[in-house]
Amino acid sequence: MYTLKIKKTLLPLIFVVTLSFMFISGCSNEETENKTENKTENIQQGTQQSELIENVSINLPTMQCEKCKETIETAVRKMDGIRDITVSVKDKFAHIDYEKSKIDVSHIEDAITSAGYDANDKKANPEAYENLKDCCKIPKDRKEKE
């Protein structure tokens, strides 16, 4: 009789504990699977994005000063698809990261020439160049100081 009472009490308890364990294990496995799927998805998206990002160096032979640098950076950053731009006044180069699905080098060069500066082999827009501050023009084109 005593054994029967233990079986009646213990059996439901074992059943509840087993079900609880299965539920907890099942949820954590599902969470783990979801996390793994999300990580895989993020890695794939990151890979796709990195495949779309290009880097280009553009020669800026007519750039003269820090104001030129600011003007060029502003003109290029306005464009859709530009990820990053670093302009070196000393080296007269711009290093640009861009999304090749949204923009190409020719359009970047056009933005720079429209701002008044030569970009690689493309010449600056003459009107834009004329509107640059005197310090931004090549020395032979600067107005003489009084």
Residue 73: give its domain's CATH number.
3.30.70.100
Quick check: is 13 in a domain?
Answer: no
Query: In terms of pTM, does the model score above 0.75?
Result: no
Q: What are phi and psi of 53, to 5 degrees?
A: -90, 125
Q: Average pLDDT for consecutive 10-residue bins of the chain (146 residues)? A: 58 64 57 52 52 91 97 97 96 96 96 98 97 95 71
Quick check: is 73 in a domain?
Answer: yes
Quick check: is 124 in a domain?
Answer: yes
| Count: domains in the chain | 1
Quick check: is 43 in a domain?
Answer: no
Question: What pLDDT sits at residue 144?
Answer: 66
Domain that holds residue 135: 53-139
Per the CB < 8 A criterion, the answer to whether 108 and 98 are in contact is yes
Question: What pLDDT sits at residue 52?
Answer: 86
Quick check: is 25 in a domain?
Answer: no
Question: What pLDDT sits at residue 44?
Answer: 52
Quick check: is 82 in a domain?
Answer: yes
pLDDT per position as a tens digit, 71-82: 999 999 999 999
Question: What pLDDT sits at residue 146?
Answer: 38
Show the 3-state SS of the chain. Answer: CHHHHHHHHHHHHHHHHHHHHHHHHHHHHHHHHHHHHHHHHHHHHHHHHHHHEEEEEEECCCCCCHHHHHHHHHHHHCCCCEEEEEEECCCCEEEEEEECCCCCHHHHHHHHHHCCCCECCECCCHHHHHCCCHHHCCHHHCCCCC
Per the CB < 8 A criterion, the answer to whether 95 and 46 are in contact is no
d(CA 62, CA 46) in angstroms, rounded, equals: 37
Quick check: is 78 in a domain?
Answer: yes
Question: What pLDDT sits at residue 116?
Answer: 98
Quick check: is 91 in a domain?
Answer: yes
